[in-house]
Structure 1
Amino acid sequence: MAEPAEHQATYEDLLRVPVRLVAEIVNGRLVTHPRPAPRHLRASSSLGGALDGPFDKGHGGPGGWWILDEPELHLGPHILVPDLAGWRRTRLPALPETAWFELVPDWVCEVLSPGTAAGDRTEKLPIYAEYGVNHVWLIDPQLHTLEALENDTGRWRLLTTLNGQDRVSLSPFDAIAFDLSLLWAD
């Protein structure tokens, strides 16, 4: 006897998730996890702060970007919520009126935590590559590392891994430099 078909998660399923959880639809499954812990938030907030002035606002840098915290991305059947994402304003001249984005970002940052690292690497990275995200940064606040990846025709190529107090000046934000140590809570 055939097994019943697995339920494909819908946007309505996602909307029923309590607000205290982050909810995504990954490969047809509803995936939830708690809101980020303080070290995770510190890394994400600090990185967003380092990039916002020079790239989103054009203060001390070239401008020309939208840099946003936890945007809801609709990539085909997938609904993903990266910690940070950025769009070049040449591709996204104005923010959408919807609560989500259908245009693929140019850059995504995932801050890894023990509960999300495996899924970020094995499920979300392939989706980002398939849909054409050009750059992904993976931040690990426990190991104090930043991995910079570049999309090379649908496959990720590791550009570098920085750690501790290294200087960060990486594509697509290589117009500035900042100390990686700004991201760590300790």
Structure 2
Amino acid sequence: MGKKPATYADLEALPEHVVGELVAGELYASPRPAMRHAVVSSRLGGELMGPFGRGRGGPGGWVILDEPELHFGDDVLVPDVAGWRKERMPVVPDTAATSLAPDWVCEVLSPSTRTLDREAKLPVYAREGVRHVWLMDPRTRTLEVFGLRDGRYTGLLTHVGAAPIRAEPFDAVELDLAFLWGAQ
């Protein structure tokens, strides 16, 4: 007899020092991100907030959130950073989670979450219609940008290093990768 699928109650029973996610009936418990990981995700959210969240030096029109809890049927995902166009989320709900798929997510890869982020979560994001996914690897200083085309992700950009770049859907503003990687 097979193992029964994990439930939200299993996720709630996890200790506070882990990040819990449910994907395809499997419970994933990851340690809190290491400092290098936290630097990248925090700086990315901060860099996007001014031009895209507030419209300072950029077009505005986005809601950018750190580690939102996303409920997609039985799947519960927690990306490092996510963004919704304001026309789709004009008001941030006063709830612990949302079932409204973001327009963009960023996963900062770490040794303990690399397989989860690439192999388990990407198909769920595609199924839910998340139009852009960024995978950032602080160890190799690599940014991979994917766009949803015909229900599948296509690689739009792979950038290695610290040179400034422009990347969909935030290509209206140049991103300072040296800063994001924590070099400054």
Whether TM exceeds 0.5 here: the answer is yes
Count of aligned positions: 183
Partner of 1:44: 41
Which residue is equivalent to 1:134?
131
**Partner in structure 2 of residue 77 of structure 1:** 74
Aligned partner of 1:147 among 135, 144, 147: 144
SS of match in other structure, 1:92: coil
TM-score, scaled relative to structure 1: 0.95
Identity of aligned residues (%): 54
Question: Which amino acid in 2 is paired with 1:176?
Answer: V
Q: Does 1:158 align with 2:155?
A: yes
Aligned to 2:117: 120
Structure 1 alignment gaps of length 5 or more? none
- Cα RMSD (Å): 0.9
The residue correspondences of 1:1-186 to structure 2 (distance < 5 A) are 4-186=1-183
Give the alignment's TM-score, normalised by structure 2.
0.97
Listed as ranges, the gaps of 5+ residues in structure 2 are none
**Using the alignment, how far apart are the partners of 2:148 and 2:63 within structure 1?**
20
Asked if 2 retains the 8 angstrom alpha-carbon contact of 1:163 and 1:180, the reply is: no
Q: How far did 1:95 drift?
A: 0.8
Alpha-carbon shift at residue 75 of structure 1 (Å): 1.2
State the shift of 1:112 in Å. 0.2
Q: Supply the distance in 2 between the matched residues of 1:107 and 1:83 (Cα, whole angstroms).
A: 11
